[in-house]
Chain A
Amino acid sequence: MRSRCAVLASVLLLVVHGCSCASKDWPSHRYSSQRTASQPHKSALSNPARVPTLHQLWSWHPRLIGDPDTVWYGYGAYGFSASPVVYRGKVFLAHLNGRLYALDTSGTFLWKYPPAGSPSLTSATQCNPSSPGIASTPAVAADVGDVPAVIFGAPDPASNAGDGRLWAVNANTGALIWRSPVLASRTANEQIGYDSPVIYGDRVYVGVSNHCDSPIIAGKLYGVDLETGALLGGFTTFVASAIRGGGIWSSPATTADGDVIITTGNGCVPYNGGCTSEPSPDHALSMIRLDGTSGAMIWKFQPVPWSLDDDPDWAAVPTVHAASCGTMAVAPMKDGYTHALAIGPTSPAGNPVTLALSLRRWSFPPAAIPFTGGSHGDIRYTRGAAVWKDVVFAVTGGRDVTASVTAGYRRLYALNSCASDFERVRWWLQFSGSGSPTMGAPSVTRGIVYIGTSEDTLYAIADPDIFPATGSQCDYPGVSITDCAPNGFRLTPVPAVLARVRLSGGIRTTPAIARGRVYVTTNRGFVHALAP
């Protein structure tokens, strides 16, 4: 009875608030609250016969209306850290210069928030691209007080020169609907940073990290009311550590039944917070499932123990992957390993750590968890995974991560989610260029993957299920075709690159795929719209 009511309630919520799960738009970070980065609807972008003609339709940058394209963050200049979102004919862009922009889908500027003449939403603290302005991707809610609203996290210059809040503005006009209470205290070195809010029903969740771990603070996950921005009653704010550590640098995802999946950053150690022993509790470096109503922890998967914490923040967004073998939460970790856990039960059942270990479906490369050794540092595998059918597309370290920890920077992996470890690698593709990592975050539409690089290029790659491969190579990089099978490895197909288009700057963001167009933001501060 309870499950039937839950289904009915879910359907009702979707009717009331609009369904992003099968949208032709791209209304939130990585498409949906499940962060699948997967556009399921057919379009020219999913047609391998048409994709080779991919070309730019238009581009836009803030300097066209008198705002800076890039801003200084303390060590360099940067444009967009956030990805585009698209909703009902409008493209919404959050910029590190502290403005939220709305364009129409022909590239015409519509409005910005704050409007001209008002101070931008910037922080007096500068340390990396997460700090100066709006670093995270907004989310669109279909109905907040009878209007669609854009929800985003940003510093408030009027509050302690940059305390972090959530903001809701009218998607049609750019008028402010509400501001949340302060969620990230600049005095305490907290910020919302890269964390994109996630919407489920009438709830919004957002995580809090810090400015450059100097010092590190205890990560937090807040829940606020979608209609008012007030803190949710009954939801206990999740705090990741008794002292410091476990900042939420990624973005929360939600399960189909409204629980929240988060990943947390590194813990408090001597050099970042003065901890000479592990705090208790310590929920750093973990993937965690929280009850979406109460905030209670259901399970916690912590592959890297405190003793091995060399700063492998779990910075990639968790992806809720509905595969044929079950629903999993999947995320690459900074150390180059990718982990997948069955979503599991809907309520706490025993010890959260033991439960999580029992729910682990696979790690790539295969590993005994928790680790007892090895290199687990700030290796920069920070991009979230995209999923399609039973395939996970990820920028991750690969089977040779222990031999060459950075080799995966230039690779995109397709992993078979439901296969054995031996058959985990579906294919991999090597790109040219440098950067740490070279690749942005992938998106996919019906088997065609869109991914940008630090070398200013957007690629479209076809899974061999929908377009013939161009050859084969060993699943273990560096091993020749001749030596592959005799050494116990497998030959895998080399997917076809259907298109590559040079854009204005490096791409660390997620391409947004909506109604036959792909929108891409760059670190030069441009947004590009492309179509076949």
Chain B
Amino acid sequence: MTRLPRRTLVLAAALLFRVGALGAQQPTAQPAQRPQAPPPPPERTLRQLAPGILASTTPLFATDSLPGYHVETIDLVMGPNQTAERVPLAGFVLMELRSGAADVTIDGRTTHREAESQWIVRRGARVTIKNAAEVTVIRATTLTPR
């Protein structure tokens, strides 16, 4: 288990909360009088991040409002039968598997991840992801020191 500084853990918790809010586009559970869901966001496009893995062309969310860190959220998408041997990542990364399933190897240790699983990748770690479903979507929030 990688030990993280307390400050990073606090930031991570705050960001997990924030990422959750980002993903929760649907209205909260309220009676039907509530406003309908918001208009669709601009069409998302994906680019090849590395062989076997695609990433959002533009961040879903980015901010420099946290002291000392640049924060950015993107989606990582893997198609059928794809493996990304080395996923290029900057900074600490909070990952949430939004759909599908994947075998995620971080510095040689492999963990099978299912939907809604969340984990942290420390800065500089070597990450390999093998898609274990039809399509796997991972939402990744990076914290890069400024």
Contact = CB atoms under 8 A, between A and B. Distances in A.
A438 B38 CA distance: 11
Contacts of B23: 375
Given A213-B32, A271-B29, A483-B54, A403 B134 contact: no
A276 B18 CA distance: 28
Contacts, number: 143
B145 interface: no
The 3 closest A-B pairs by CB, nearest first: A377-B26, A488-B79, A402-B99
Interface string B121-136: 0000000000001110
Interface in A480-530: 480, 483, 486-489
Given A377-B26, A478-B45, A403 B77 contact: yes
B31 A407 contact: no
B33 interface: yes
Given A434-B40, A483-B54, A403 B25 contact: no
B79 A487 contact: yes
Given A403-B44, A477-B43, A487 B75 contact: no
B40 A438 contact: yes
Given A128-B32, A212-B31, A366-B134, A379 B44 contact: no
Interface string A155-194: 0000000000000000000000000000000000000000
Given A401-B99, A421-B134, A483-B47, 5 more contacts: A372-B115, A403-B75, A404-B44, A407-B41, A487-B77
A311 B78 CA distance: 29
B5 interface: no
B90 interface: no
B133 to A, nearest CB: 8
A: contact size bracket: 35 or more
A310 B24 CA distance: 11
A contact face: mostly helix, strand, loop, or mixed:
loop
B48 interface: yes
Contact of A75 (B24, B33, B114, B139): B33
Interface of A: 74-75, 127-128, 212-214, 269, 271-272, 310-311, 335, 365-366, 372-375, 377-380, 399-407, 409-410, 421-422, 430, 434-436, 438, 476-480, 483, 486-489
A487 B40 contact: no
Contacts of A480: 45-47
Interface in B14-73: 23-33, 36-41, 43-48, 51-54
Determine which residue in A335, A378, A422, A434 has the highest number of CB atoms from chain B within 10 A of its CB, and name it.
Answer: A378
Nearest to A479: B46
B79 A436 contact: no
